[in-house]
Each structure stands twice: as structure tokens, then as C-alpha cells.
Amino acid sequence: MLTKFLPFLNWTKSYQRHDLTNDLIAAIVVAIMLVPQGMAYAMLAGLPPQAGLYGAMLPLVLYAMFGSSPSLAVGPVAVVALMTAAAAGTVADIGAPGFHLAALWIALLSGMMMLVLGLFRLGFLANFLSHPVISGFITAAGLLIAASQLRHLLGTDIRGKTLPEVIPSFVAGLGTISWLTLGLSALILVFLLWSRAGLAKLLMRLGLGAPIAKLLGKTGLLIAVVGSTLLVWGTGLDQHGVSIVGDIPRGLPPFALPEFNLSLIQLLAAPALMIAIVGYVESVSIAQTLAAKKRQFIDPDRELVALGLANLGAGVTSAMPVTGGLSRSIVNYDAGAATPAAGAMTAVLIALAVLALTPLMYYLPNATLAAIIIVAVVSLLDFGALPRTWAYSRADGAAMAATMAVTLLIGVEQGLLAGVGLSLVLYLYRTSRPHMAVVGQVPGTEHFRNIDRHAVVTTPEVFSIRVDESLYFPNARALEDRIVQALSDTPALRHVVLQCSAVNYIDASALESLEAINERLEAAEVQFHLSEVKGPVMDQLERGHLLHDLTGSVFLTQFDAMNKLAPETTQACVASARSDTHIQPA
């Protein structure tokens, strides 16, 4: 029972020396990535660099204790950083004390929401974010993230949270571009893009073994940070318009609750919920993908609890909101992380870096951090997803397009809400017009199929209809209208059979509609029957009056129904097909 509340007790029991070696190697590689990424994502969120570094300490330890994924690398990520900047920007300007306070409350609120959802096993609510909506949102957010870094890459004042704000600001700032900053940015971008694959290949050509070369190939971020810092320090580029990070407080983060402000909390509740859901969906998707490679199991509700505690830890240590990061998780997995202890070791290494190395980062150019962000978001952009989705489903394509358009033109929160809202509206529209098939018997079989798609046998005395959707309030009337139409079109009709093989649920409105159908058919001296009713649906119906008042019967199969209601037609159909069969010569 204790392991249910303290999951880390499961893997610590069997922890061995080789696990320690693997976890330590993975922690070193991830820490090398996380130091510059943490500062870069803090800058993206509009927060001081240390907020990103603090987000890689206590949150990682808490996730290691309560998370279920050995490979998921928790910490600051680009999309959550952008959403944090957008949400905090509604209550204070970047750099103002209220802005950092808002970011801390976003971390606390999103953490509390994740924790509650996980404890009550409500992780399924994240399913309301469909994959097309998430894909469209992440692509649009990636574009906004890239646009937000133009001012650091070009050394000019470009502002704005949406494309209609960024584009005019970009045009106005063209005349004030710092060419030294632009040149440095271009150099770093080219190196980082090349190092993703080229650095490991170069090291292998120099004689290193493939495993070592691949691990060292992940140090491209560190090389860019060290190289650009030394370049600025040695040449004095900071005196010629190249902006630098400057002082980063040395020491561990303070541990304290942020100042309580009820009105601020009320303003940030909705954005915090969006951040919580997006962070959870991104994390659990990464964790499940990596777990599948090792045939491991990820508990989504435990992930909610772990991520919730991690964000609570961020909120009380002056850090930014955190979640699982794709690139770092892949590196963590490739480096051989055996248990969640790798995350805790990463936190220790980050703490040591903050204690010892922050003075050395004084001359780190902001252009380097911006380039790190740009390279990270390249993997988020999937422009081919929209035409693929549109070709398969116009409804899903419309939801994706709306999400992208609203995110780019209005804002990240509005874009996400628009995508979710449109997805729900389209779902209600589709299910309010369910596919209904009039079915007949396939000759020579006991199977029944759509009369418009197959050569089947029917009889005018029996109207058999299959509804390929659960019955609930938006679509109940559509079934009623279809049966009434058949009643008026077929004078010889004596029986109506509703085939329920695709019905998983019948709500109270649909039950009333079925009762009305039963009454109308009874008045017309037509019996109403059900067939192939699933067990849970039958349990529902037994709690109402429909089965008691039903003028017909409930049949186990559609063949049983037709064999009872039109035996001569059914048996003749089977017999005629059998008499036509013969053995083909070899």
C-alpha cells in the first residue's frame, strides 16, 4: 500500500550498481542540455535566467519520487514557457515584480490542478484535446516562439505576442538591426543545426567509438554556450551592441510561498488550467512513447500527481512552470537512463552548476539562448499535418486550421480554447446526424448489411435499421423521424427492428424517444423490437419502463429477430444460397 503513495519505493528495492552508472551518465548529458535550455526558456517566459535553472532542481526531485517514467526529463519547455509569458503578461509587464509573481502562481495553480485531477483519476479529461488540435496548437505556438526570439537574434526591439503585433514591429525595427548580433546569431544557429547530427559523425571520423561519439554529440549546446561566451568576453562585443545575460544570482533558490493575492489567482486560474492540460498531454505522450520501446507501463494518473507536485515545487522555489520535454527525454532515453533517479541526479548537477558556474555566464549572449530556442522549436513545426488531416477529415482539419489561425492571430490561450470548442461542436454535429443503415440479409449467411452497399434480401413486412452511434439527446429525434418516415412509406409494415450492435449508451432523452417510437408504432399496429443489445445498455434499459412496455421482443441477434418475424423469407434466403453452391474442380 505504501508503494502506491510513494512509487519510488518500487524501483529503489531493486536498484543496482549498473543502474547507478547508467543514470549518472544520462544525468550528466541531460544537465549539459538543461543548463542553457533552462535559461533560454526562462528568457522566453519573460523571466530571469535563474527561474529556468531553479525549475530544474526541486521539480526534478519530486518527479523522480512520484513519477512512473524512467526516461521522461522534466523541466522548462518552450510551449509552456510561451503560455506562461502570455498569461503573466495579462496582469503585469515583463520585468515588473508582478510578472514573476504571476508566473509563480501559474506554477502553483497548474500544479494543484494536476494534483487534484490525478488523485481523483480524472486524467481522461485531457482527451478533450484531440490530436489535430494539439498538433495545430504546437505548430502555431512554435511559430510564435520563433517570432518572439527575433529581437534577440537581430539585436533590435521587436515586440508582440501575435503575428499581427510582431510583423509591424519587425518592419519598424529593420533599420536598427545590430549586424554584429545578427552575425553572431547566424554563426550559432548554423553550428547548432549542424551539431544535431554532424558533431557525432565528426567525432567518429576522429576515431571515437560510436556510443561515446553519440553521447558527446549531445554537447552541442554546451559548446555553443562556452564558445559564444568566450567570444563576447574576449572581443568585448557587449560594448558594441551585443546584449548579454549579465549577473545571475549565485546559490540555491529560496524556499517560500509567493505573496497571496486572491484577485491575481482568479485571473490566472483559467490560463493555469490550459497550461496544466497542455503540459500533461505533452508529458504523458512522450512518456508513453518511450515506455513502449522498453515494454514498460506508464500510469497517466500517477503522471498527473507527479507533474502536479513538480509544479508545486517550482512555485515555492521561484521557478517557472515545468513539464516533460521531448528533446531532453529522448536524450535521457538514449543515454541509458534506467530509473527516475536520473532526474534527481540531474537536479543535483544543476544545483552544483548554479553554485559554481553562474559567474562564468555573465558574458553569455542572449543571441545564444535565442538560437537554442529556435533550434528546439524546429522539431515542433509540422506544416504537413494540416493538409494530411484535411484530406482525411474535413472536420478535424477545420479544427486544426482554426486552432492555428486563432493562436497566431489572437493568442495562445484563445487558440487552444477555439480548437477545443470547435472540436466539441463538430463532434456534437456529427453525432447528431448519425449514420443509419437499413439492413437486409446477405444470401447464404446469417449476416445483415446495409441495403445500399450490398446485395441483400428484405421483406416489406419488416423494417430493420442499424444506428452506428450511441443514442443521446442530440440524435434521438433523428432516429424517431427515420422510423416514422418508414412507417408512412411502407403500408405493409408490421415490425420494426432496431439493431443496436453499435449502440454503447442510451441517455434519458434517447430513452424517452424510444418510448415515443414504441407508442407511435403501437398506435399503428406495428411491433417494435430490439436486437443485439449490449450488456451495459441492457442494464440501463432494465432500469426504465421501455422493456416492460415494449410491444415486441429483444433478440440476441438480428438473425434471430428475422427468423422469428419473417421465417419463410429468412430460411428461403439461406436455403437458396446453399442449393447454388457446388464444388469447383481442382
Measure CA 295 to chain center. Answer: 21
pLDDT digits 0-9 by tens, 280-338: 998 988 988 888 887 778 888 889 999 999 999 999 999 999 999 988 998 888 888 88
Q: For 45-74, what is the HEC assignment? A: CCCCHHHHHHCCCHHHHHHHHHCCCCCCCE
- The ranges assigned to domains in the chain are 17-413, 436-577
pLDDT digits 0-9 by tens, 44-82: 999 999 999 999 999 999 999 999 888 899 999 999 999
Give the residue-averaged pLDDT of 526-553: 95
pLDDT digits 0-9 by tens, 472-501: 999 989 999 999 999 999 999 999 999 999
Cell, residue 421: 470548442
For the chain, how far is it from start to end, CA to CA, in angstroms?
Answer: 66
Q: What contacts 51, CB < 8 A, 6 or more positions away?
A: 42, 45, 100, 103, 318, 319, 320
Nearest of 479, 515, 485 to residue 499 by alpha carbon: 479
pLDDT digits 0-9 by tens, 191-215: 999 998 898 898 888 888 888 888 7
Cell, residue 217: 554529440
Q: What pLDDT score was predicted for residue 362?
A: 94
Sign of CA dihedral 453, 457, 463, 465: negative
Given the DSSP bridges, would you call strands 436-441 and 448-450 parallel, antiparallel or unpaired? antiparallel
585 pLDDT above the threshold of 50: no
Q: Which residue has the cell 522539431?
A: 379
Q: What pLDDT score was predicted for residue 578?
A: 54
The pLDDT-based confidence of 581 (bands split at 50, 70, 90) is very low
**Beta bridge partners of residue 457, listed in sequence order:** 441
Given the DSSP bridges, would you call strands 448-450 and 323-324 parallel, antiparallel or unpaired? unpaired
Measure CA 91 to chain center. Answer: 27
Report the C-alpha gap between 228 and 372 in whole angstroms. Answer: 12
Task: Enumerate helices (H) and strands (E) in the chain, giving the number of each.
Answer: 28, 8
The pLDDT-based confidence of 216 (bands split at 50, 70, 90) is confident
Per residue in 223-242, is it b (16+ CB within 10 Å) or e — as a string?
ebbbebbebbeeeebeeeeb
Supply φ then ψ for residue 95, to 5 degrees. Answer: 95, -20
The pLDDT-based confidence of 525 (bands split at 50, 70, 90) is very high
| Superfamily name and number for 436-577 | STAS domain (3.30.750.24)
577 pLDDT above the threshold of 70: no
Q: What pLDDT score was predicted for residue 255?
A: 92
pTM across the whole model = 0.84
Given the DSSP bridges, would you call strands 436-441 and 462-467 parallel, antiparallel or unpaired? antiparallel
* Candidate from 1-5, 395-399, 534-538 with smallest mean pLDDT: 1-5
Strands of 478-544, DSSP E: 495-499, 527-531
Q: Which residue has the cell 523571466?
A: 47
pLDDT digits 0-9 by tens, 373-401: 999 888 888 899 999 999 999 889 999 99
586 pLDDT above the threshold of 50: no
pLDDT digits 0-9 by tens, 254-275: 999 999 999 999 999 999 999 9
242 pLDDT above the threshold of 70: yes
- Choice between 162 and 215, residue whose per-residue pLDDT is larger: 162
Percentages helix, strand, coil for the chain, rounded to the nearest 5? 65, 5, 30
pLDDT digits 0-9 by tens, 10-24: 778 888 888 899 999
Q: What contacts 244, CB < 8 A, 6 or more positions away?
A: 232, 238, 362, 363, 364, 365, 366
Nearest of 429, 433, 449 to residue 501 by alpha carbon: 449
355 pLDDT above the threshold of 70: yes
pLDDT digits 0-9 by tens, 104-145: 999 999 999 999 999 998 877 777 778 899 899 999 999 999
> What percent of the chain stands above pLDDT 90?
69
Q: What pLDDT score was predicted for residue 580?
A: 47
